[in-house]
Structure 1
Amino acid sequence: MQDKMMDAFNAQTRQMFEPMRKINSLMLNNMEKMTQYQLEAMKRYSQMGTERLRSATDVQDAESLRDFGTQQAAMMNELSQQMQEDARVMSEMSLEFKAEMEKLFGEAGKQMADQASSAAKGEQPTKASSQSSRKS
């Protein structure tokens, strides 16, 4: 008898914490994915800056300075495009995360409603004891 009660208690506890476990797992996965992408982006931007510094050290005369200026303009255009692409990817990741969170919250809400419904069905109505049946 006590084993059945403990098993039921364990099952209810697992069921109660399952939605939070899923949400925490989703949040952790999203954080990991976004951090990884940001680290890769930082590495790309750092490499672009280092390349520009190396190119600047090659400037020796007016012609090489003009070429450096032209390359600098092209690099700024490339940087702008890369930043737009990174913003688009981060936005897509955020929208995907939002959709997954909404799905999890919907499932959790449905599960809670089902549990409340089954709990309500399981309750037996109790007879009201009336004190008015006493004789005064």
Structure 2
Amino acid sequence: MQDNMLDSFNQQTRQFFEPMRKLNSLMLGNMEKMTEYQLEAMKRYSQMGAERMRRAAEIQDARDLQAFGAKQAEMMSELSRQMMEDAQALGEMSQQFRTELEQLFGEVSQQITERTQEAGEAAKTTAATAESPATKTEAPAKATSQASRKS
């Protein structure tokens, strides 16, 4: 009997913490994905900046400066395009996370509803058993006041 109670308690505890475990897993996975993407983006931007600094250090005359200026405009255009792509990718990741989060909350809500209904049915069954005619007595109540105890 005690083993059954412990097994039941363990099962209920697992069921109670399962939604939180799923939520934590989902949030951790999203955080890892976003962090990895942002680190890669930062690496790309750093490489672009370092490359531009190298090219600037190599300028020796007016012709090199003119070529550097033209390349700088191309690089700024490339940087702008890359930033737009990164923003779009991060937006898509956020949307995917939101969808997964909504799905998880929907599942948890459904589970809670089902458990509540099961608990309600169990309570009704318990109440019906407790109120069975065999346990009820229809005897009148006894008076216990001081006035009814006169000797």
Q: Shorter-chain TM-score: what band?
A: over 0.9
Which residue does 1:116 correspond to in 2? 116
Provide the rounded CA distance (Å) in 1 between the counterparts of 2:141 and 2:78: 91
Which residue does 1:82 correspond to in 2? 82
Provide the rounded CA distance (Å) in 1 between the counterparts of 2:44 and 2:50: 10
Alignment of 1:65-104 (within 5 A): 65-104=65-104
Q: Report the TM-score when normalising by structure 1.
A: 0.93
Which residue does 2:5 correspond to in 1? 5
Q: Deviations over 1:2-53 (max 9, x none)?
A: 0001000000000000000000000001000100000000000000000000
Q: CA deviation at 1:103?
A: 0.5
Percent identity of paired positions between Structure 1 and Structure 2: 58
Q: Which runs of 5+ in 2 are unaligned?
A: 144-151
Counterpart of 1:121, as a letter, is E
Q: CA deviation at 1:135?
A: 5.8
SS in 1 for 2:59: coil
118-127 or 42-51: bigger deviation = 118-127
Provide the rounded CA distance (Å) in 1 between the counterparts of 2:98 and 2:29: 13
Q: Report the TM-score when normalising by structure 2.
A: 0.84
Q: CA deviation at 1:58?
A: 1.3
Alignment of 1:4-23 (within 5 A): 4-23=4-23
Q: Deviations over 1:91-112 (max 9, x none)?
A: 0000000000000000000000
Provide the rounded CA distance (Å) in 1 between the counterparts of 2:76 and 2:61: 22
Provide the rounded CA distance (Å) in 2 between the counterparts of 1:48 and 1:122: 66
Q: Which has the larger radius of gyration?
A: 2
Which residue does 1:33 correspond to in 2? 33
Q: CA deviation at 1:134?
A: 2.9
Provide the rounded CA distance (Å) in 1 between the counterparts of 2:89 and 2:104: 23
Provide the rounded CA distance (Å) in 2 between the counterparts of 1:117 and 1:21: 23
Equivalent residue pairs, number:
132
List structure 1 runs of 4+ shifted beyond 6 angstroms: none
